[in-house]
Amino acid sequence: MNKIKSILSKCFLLGIFFLGTIACSDYLNEDNRSAITQENYFQNANQAQTAVNGVYSGLNVLLTRVNYGESPFISIELPVGHAKTLGQNANNNNMIQQRSASIEGVFFTVWSGFYKAIANANMCITNLPTVDMDSAEKSKLLGEVLFLRAFYYYYLVRLYGDIPCITEVISTNSPDFYPKRSSVADIYDKIIIPDLLEAEKTSLPDYDASGRVCKGMVKSLLASVYLTTAGHPLNRSANYELARDKAFEVISGVPNQYPYTLFDNYAYLHDREHKIQQELILQVQVEIGTNDQGTSGIAQLIIPEKCGISKFPDEYGALTVRDEFVQSYEKGDRRANLTLGETNTFFFNTYEKDGTPISFSPIGLYKYWLEEAAGNNGDQKSDENYTLLRYPEVLLIYAEASNEVSGPSQAAVEQIKKIRDRAGLSTPDAGTFTKDSFREFIWKERYHELAFENKAYFDILRTWKAYDLKNNRFVDAFTFQNESGVTFKKQYLNWPIPSIEINTNPNLNPQNEGWS
């Protein structure tokens, strides 16, 4: 397989000690007084633990600030059609209108950020076996790194398609210094799936309350991977059965092995007290910041622009909600209740500030509102975690995959019912569905339950279907004009390989279809 560029491997130390906040070139130009290298660093258990901690920093890539009001987790959401964004950010608007250029920063930010994290993971995987430490702890650390490498590749392959298959560290004079791209199938078959299967065999705990990688996490991601590969572009329909079975391993292990359960209150999805608990399987964990910008910025980014409801001096309005999307929820669905009170809602358009109700437009994402930072008594410290995997997604994966294998079943309906009961909705019995109608029922539930969690775009990529909000049905994504007035372009089935990468490494040619 192709191997990672040396400059990325040297960024490994920054991932550990500085969480990637200093450029690689800056680091390489400094006087190397400590002479720390991969050859002399992995000498004991403490060093091994520190190295693996550095690999986790790659999860922050999705929250990186690219430009004013621009971040990867926002860019991934915008082409779907259910979101709005502030007027002054041209790049965000280009993502909505699907007229971006390959030079735009978000494409490079995600590519380079995840490949740097992969370089860190590769160095750990290479060196951990030689560390003199407890064998069970070593196995656990290896399981964590294998999961993280698979996770980073899972994002890259879905976003960019054919990409370099990098699993080792090389020197600058290696003939593999400029890698070629490998097929989507190879990325799944040679890295993502084997890494996750191997991680399952390690001494990872079933559950880890601190939010570190555990077997419940591994199985949940593997179920998602199998569901994705059953759809476009690989169309491996046999993987529906694998997705069903892997999701069921998680569900059947609740609560004894995996203490996953749904919150009673949607507000617990986005407050400080309930981080990495219950249904929150995997999150980007964020510490409390010391200034008004905070450390994740999610709370600021999602507040409608200059609506004057928060403690923040700047309200970006980078990701807000179209009215049509909220109206697409069923009548009585608590998730779409715009009136705050019990806080059982995902959205809001009024907020009582200092005793005075304030109405605003467009609709805001209460799902990401952080009361402790932005509210009336807020401290302006934007330390909101970003959720990557929730237990409802596992339930939905099981239901969808089960339906594709053998049609509607009461067992599948029961998983959906758990989600809809919390939303205050009734759920029909399995006998009322055909295979096709149950598929749409599940897709709608995914669309509404996992709204604005970076799932809808990837669902379009694997199903080639878009949700027609007005007519409450799924239609061909490439002929339907969404609520933003845009018909999904096949060009956006993949992001472009960043132009700076192709200019540096011509082996990455040809550019993805539709991009220049």
Quick check: 28 pLDDT over 60? no
Q: Write out pLDDT tens, residues 52-80.
A: 999 999 999 999 989 888 999 999 999 99
Cα 309 to chain centroid, rounded: 28
User: pLDDT band at 273, cuts 50/70/90?
Assistant: confident
Quick check: 210 pLDDT over 70? yes
Residue 95 exposed, middle or buried by CB count within 10 Å (0-12, 13-18, 19+): buried
Rounded distance, CA 332 to CA 423, Å? Answer: 8
pTM of the model: 0.91
Quick check: 9 pLDDT over 70? no
Could you tell me which residue, 503 or 35, shows the higher pLDDT? 503
What residues does CATH 1.25.40.390 cover in the chain?
1-195+455-516
Order of all β-strands in the sheet with 356-365 = 83-84, 320-321, 356-365, 347-353
Q: Tell me the average pLDDT across 256-285.
A: 92
Rounded distance, CA 416 to CA 446, Å? Answer: 10
Quick check: 16 pLDDT over 70? no
Which pLDDT value is given to residue 184? 99
- One-letter amino acid identity for 141? L
Quick check: 360 pLDDT over 60? yes
Q: Which of 35-49, 151-165, 342-356 is most confident?
A: 151-165
Q: Write out pLDDT tens, residues 393-422.
A: 999 999 999 999 999 999 999 999 999 999
What percent of the chain clears pLDDT 70, i.e. is strictly above it? Answer: 89
Which pLDDT value is given to residue 295? 54
Task: State in words which class domain 1-195+455-516 has.
Answer: mainly alpha
Rounded distance, CA 121 to CA 55, Å? Answer: 6
Three-class SS state of 321? strand
Which pLDDT value is given to residue 476? 97
